[in-house]
Amino acid sequence: METRAAQVLSRPITIGGLTLPNRVAMAPMTRGFSPGGVPGADVAAYYARRAAGGTGLVITEGAYVGDPSAGQHDLVSRMYGDDALAGWARVTKAVHDAGGRIFAQLQHVGMVRKAGDPPHPEAPAIGPSGLPLLGDDLGHTMTQADIDAALSAFGQAARDAERAGFDGVELHGAHGYLIDQFLWSETNRRTDRYGGGVRARARFAAEAVAAVRARVAPGFPVVVRLSQWKQSDYAARLAGTPEEFGVILGELVDAGADAFHASTRRYWEPAFDGADLNLAGWAKKLTGKPAITVGSVGLDTEFTASLAGAGAGRTGIDGLLDRLEADEFDVVAVGRSLLADPEWTAKVLDGREDDVVPFTPEALGVLG
């Protein structure tokens, strides 16, 4: 007899012009196993194992766009250069051969970068106002030429991702990276058309979506990842009210966004006072677009504890299924559980939760 999990999670869902076979996605997680930014055969096999294990959508780690200031590590993948793009073509083929679909997450770290960081140590840290998320090291305040170059890099990366066989792209607009730095009032102190009120602060994000939409085929899915929290401040608030959040989302929808991936540390927590909806729920309610939720799915501790060396116990997902059945959101992204067990999706759908390999911190150190 079909399990409740299978009934809820096995329903197809359409994002843009693409229909996914089920409601489970692999969350984007920076792994740093791509020397020189080039994903190899081990990366292809890593993602393909999750697709073969029943996960309907794989979202890659953030791949740096082709702006010299976009990155901060030489082991994190990039979405530019013939060598990296050839590597990604092998990744997409492996995932497709395993029956899955795959989106590339496109990333520009902005002021998270430190002076001298690879892969381009000569490049400055740049941001809307040159303000760091932590510390006192001021960076370069972006000129219009800098903004235009970054937007062009996002558009080109999306075009190259589509050519490499990706089924869609996700713009990383969360966690304090460049797009988020424009959205957040604490890091955006501009007085031109990119700063000031909520709508003006959303301009760069909207122009990034428009730049991507202009370079890819009609129907090619464009997702935007957003969060309240920053890696430097878990209590940060991108939007203080649903109305403010709606302004940001509306600008992104008008620019061509097909769906939203709302990053939270605990998916069950309300995003705003007065309602039980989480951030993904509000994204769907305010736009009508598909929404992806994420945050400690099936685990009893959040990822920060795991980064500090703690394990995580398994919990049930009945509460998650309740919310999916109520159409609060449409897709659930799973992170650490899929690191520990590539077959997590198939086991959960089949009612074999007791067979799931538990997450331990050791999973963070290998490309299993």
Convert the pLDDT of each residue in 207-223 to its tens digit: 999 999 999 999 999 99
What would the pLDDT profile of 260-288 be if each residue is shown by its tens digit?
999 999 999 999 999 999 999 999 999 99
pLDDT for residue 231 is more than 90? no
Mean pLDDT on 251-259: 98
At residue 304, the pLDDT reads 65
150-165: average pLDDT: 99
Average pLDDT over residues 202-209: 99
User: What are the pLDDT digits (tens) for 98-139?
Assistant: 999 999 999 999 999 998 999 999 999 999 999 999 888 999
Q: Which of 47, 64, 80, 177 is catalytic?
A: 177
Cβ atoms of 125 and 100 closer than 8 Å: no
Reference 17, options 353, 194, 258; nearest CA is: 258
Task: Name the percent of the chain lying above pLDDT 70.
Answer: 97
Residue 68 has pLDDT above 80, yes or no: yes
Q: Any residues with CB less than 8 A from the CB of 140 and at least 6 apart, and which?
A: 69, 124, 125, 126, 127, 130, 146
Q: Give the pLDDT confidence of 289-347 residue by residue, as tens digits.
A: 999 999 999 887 776 666 667 667 888 899 999 999 999 999 999 999 999 999 999 99
Give the pLDDT score at 351. 95
pLDDT of residue 306: 64
Q: Is the peptide bond before 119 cis (omega within 30 degrees of 0)?
A: yes
Of 235, 323, 335, 228, which is closest to residue 284 (Cα–Cα)?
A: 323
- Mean pLDDT in residue range 160-167: 99
Rounded to the nearest integer, the mean pLDDT of the chain is 96
pLDDT of residue 181: 98
47 part of the active site: no
Q: What is the mean pLDDT of residues 251-257?
A: 98
Report the share of the chain in percent with pLDDT over 90.
90
What is the predicted pLDDT for the residue at 305? Answer: 64
